[in-house]
Amino acid sequence: MKSILSIVDQLNWGIVILICATLGLAPFAPPHIIEKLSMLIRGNLIKPLDWFDLLLHGFPWVLLILKITACVIKEK
């Protein structure tokens, strides 16, 4: 079975960046992820829809971090 990093490493950089720029930042003024992270820090992330929004808009950034990690590990 392939590890998650090997699967993520096969993803195209352009696709990952496009997903971050669109889904990760939407809506653009202000970015939804910033609002949800501030709600999480303040302890106001209560509704299930807020958690879903955090996961939806946060996933592209987690994917980008995994992609960077996979590239760094592969270089070693």
* Structure confidence at residue 65 (pLDDT): 95
Q: Please say if the pLDDT value at position 76 is more than 80.
A: no
Q: Please say if the pLDDT value at position 55 is more than 60.
A: yes
* Structure confidence at residue 64 (pLDDT): 96
| 22-40 residue pLDDT tens | 999 888 788 889 999 999 9
How would you label 4-33 residue by residue, b for 16+ Cβ within 10 Å and e otherwise?
Answer: eeeebbeeeeeebeebbeebbbeeeeeebb
| 10-23 residue pLDDT tens | 999 999 999 999 99
